[in-house]
Structure 1
């Protein structure tokens, strides 16, 4: 399926023992499927700790994303494991996004909190000049994705940490502009409250 190796399939399914046997037998952990993803990226996207444990934390996907980018979107526990293994907190993908940007767009408030506590640069900008707050303001409600975290909670975490609410993208858009454009009234309300304080 999509040029997946048996290791891709085991990693995606969270079959730790099978994955370990395949790796011990010489399976290539850097093999890419047709989407440019390694088995480790599949594991990180699903929070399968055992498959990722001990892996090369610098492995990148087709778009330049690291395992920490993936974990930042999906698993607080895996974020901790990867940071403990020396994952680069400020690694950027091809769009200039850091793991904090990934957490802000797709993860939960806890993921954002963990990365900030580890020293993530909240002022980091994507190639388009977006901050983590811009990505939070435009992200779909994580409840829709089944994570149980809402974008307004992520915005509060970033704002409490001191992120610049008035930062503008290359095109001049603020996070409030993004929240309005993406119809995120709860985030817009949080941003308006801080901007008027």
Structure 2
């Protein structure tokens, strides 16, 4: 076994004595098992091997990522919640050489609180905030990132304690409270309200958190907002328009019926008894344009290979969403009946536009809209 392989084996065996021997014999402290793997320092940092990490750093191991797509030693430690290793690396200057091609270090710490939720992840987040870590250029502010990732209340409270504004807005102007309400995250709504979030803050369409909660039938959220005195303006019409009779009672109605109130809807709802989408024609047209955009960008062969659904089906679904919405005879919404395969095609188009392909989206539609539509569709799928 050559010296570099000996060092790799010693690190993976978590054997500090063997690591020290290999380094003393001349092994490269930046060794890796292969050209497709990270350095031994990144491996040690990611598994929390403090003593070994110190030996490698003392021997001159690089604090940078081996390649742009690989995690640096510091980011590996942050991802896995190893605060003692993080402190070591920061003391040795790791923050000064940490790149942002993989996003900010704080975004990595936030993601760890929901991907690997444990007390250590919160401690790492708190430590980085104390160091002044923030968002990278082009990223949403941290509290918005947390809400979009459905972070636990403990994470949101840490951010607020370290100066996050409960009235922060996403880059498209959507208030943090509205983001939480749209997702039915009543715990986050409560934390934000307790921290001073304005319950009546509106998004770019003039819709408040209460209006969004009622439209999506998120009763726990609407109850929390009503208990702090959220303004009822527009809320009752939305409840009537979606025939949310339970909410109409919450809003003070003494008797309710199946009202047919025309409203402007911001959501497309999946009826629980089948694959019937309900909403306004304008929203269905937006969905159809997005499906068509994704299909056209990928083309016939790549669409079939990447999504596992036929290209011709994607084209047909896009046309149906634009042309087929039919007025419900007993309500003001429109509806489109889709097969299971057609609904899967819509979802695949959203996934491609949200995470895979970067193309100019149809006029008036941005990445925020795509992510919101995908999140809400996923939340409703059986």
TM > 0.5 fold call: yes
- Taking a change above 3 Å as real, the CA distance of residues 182 and 23 of structure 1, as seen in their structure-2 partners, is farther
Residue deviations 1:124-163 (CA, integer Å, cap 9, x gap): 33323344334434669xxxxxxxxxx4222211111112
User: Take 1:170 and 1:63, find their aligned partners in 2: how far apart are those partners?
Assistant: 30
8 Å CA contact 1:155–1:190 kept in 2: the answer is yes
Q: Is 1:112 the counterpart of 2:156 in the alignment?
A: yes
Structure 2 unmatched ranges of 5 or more:
1-33, 114-120, 233-382
Residue 81 of structure 1: aligned partner: 127
Residue 86 of structure 2: aligned partner: 52
- Taking a change above 3 Å as real, the CA distance of residues 3 and 158 of structure 1, as seen in their structure-2 partners, is same
Residue deviations 1:50-108 (CA, integer Å, cap 9, x gap): 12114144634324312x33333422211232233x223xx323443223233333332
Residue deviations 1:161-194 (CA, integer Å, cap 9, x gap): 1123343445666545666788865445434544
User: Take 1:167 and 1:196, find their aligned partners in 2: how far apart are those partners?
Assistant: 10
Residue 132 of structure 1: aligned partner: 176
Query: Aligned runs of 1:24-103 on 2, under 5 Å?
Result: 24-31=58-65, 33=67, 35=69, 37-54=71-88, 55=90, 56-57=94-95, 59-66=98-105, 68-73=106-111, 74=113, 75-84=121-130, 86-88=131-133, 91-103=134-146
Larger radius of gyration: 2
Q: CA RMSD in A?
A: 3.5
Structure 1 unmatched ranges of 5 or more:
141-150
SS of equivalent to 2:160? helix
TM-score using structure 2 length: 0.40
More RCO (CA 8 Å, sep 6+)? 1
User: Take 2:63 and 2:183, find their aligned partners in 1: how far apart are those partners?
Assistant: 31
- Taking a change above 3 Å as real, the CA distance of residues 80 and 23 of structure 1, as seen in their structure-2 partners, is same
